[in-house]
Amino acid sequence: MNNNSIGLFDSGLGGLTVLSEIKSILPNENYIYFGDTARVPYGSKSKETIIEYSRQIISFLISKGVKLIVIACGTASSLAFDTVKDEFDVPIINVITPTAKSIKSSRIGVIATSATIKSNAWKKEILKYNSTAHVTSKACPLFVPIVEEGLVNTQVASDAINLYLKSYKNNVDSLVLGCTHYPILIDKINSYFNGKIKLVNINKACAKEVYSYLKSHKLFNDSKKEGSMVAYTTDSTVTFKKNAKKFCNCSFKAIKKVSL
């Protein structure tokens, strides 16, 4: 047993959707969330920059004594995970691999940030476990700012969904929401497809992976009480607290601003 916290990080607030899923099945664990809101979005930045940001945040989380780190960011998972996973002593889980293992469809669409799509990480990982699948990918760069700015229930969001996803109508069986911000748009996307395409929420597969890892390595928190949650952000704590409610129905013990 290990009562240290689970650390999670994302470019902004999207990773809170991962935190919410993990907390739903592991309510007694303690959590430390890091949202790099001053540098969001990651999707338009270079691989080298994202790796450096990830190293900085992982080092910070390790300084807080975490027992496991979740890269709760599709872009950092695709561009930084392979580099950082062997650079630190703490186990690191990404959001891509658990999802790729779980997809059984033959015609799979993947939507994510520009940087993630350029990396081809999703296609490579899916084909590793489903070699006969036909995988098509599309960058949706407007989705993260739409979600971060609270524009989900607007015509702007509807127009962006139509712009990016019209080519997927009748062409895929499953659509992977390959960025942790995208589940906030899942109802609108599902409505756009009239519920006829299976939407793959990467947060659910990641949460199951975290549970399995803690179980197999005997790292569960043995407390019978609900765990605590602390958040760190690189920008305004007031804005973080206000916007976090859209992503996660969670109550943070503290929200602190830090500089890396």
Supply the residues annotated as catalytic.
Answer: 73, 179
Contact assessment for residue 140 and residue 111, using Cβ atoms and an 8 Å cutoff: yes
Cβ neighbours of residue 241 closer than 8 Å, sequence gap 6 or more = 252, 255
CA distance 112 to 19: 19
In this structure, the chain runs to a length of: 260
Pairing of β 31-35 and β 229-233: parallel
Contact assessment for residue 197 and residue 128, using Cβ atoms and an 8 Å cutoff: no
CB atoms closer than 10 angstroms to residue 11? 31
CA distance 14 to 4: 23
Which regions of 169-226 does DSSP assign to beta strands (E)?
174-177, 198-201
Cα dihedral across residues 56, 61, 67, 72: positive or negative: negative
With CA atoms as reference, report the closest residue to 180 among 40, 75, 68.
Answer: 75
- The greatest distance separating any two alpha carbons of the chain, rounded to the nearest whole angstrom, comes to 49
CA distance 98 to 205: 5
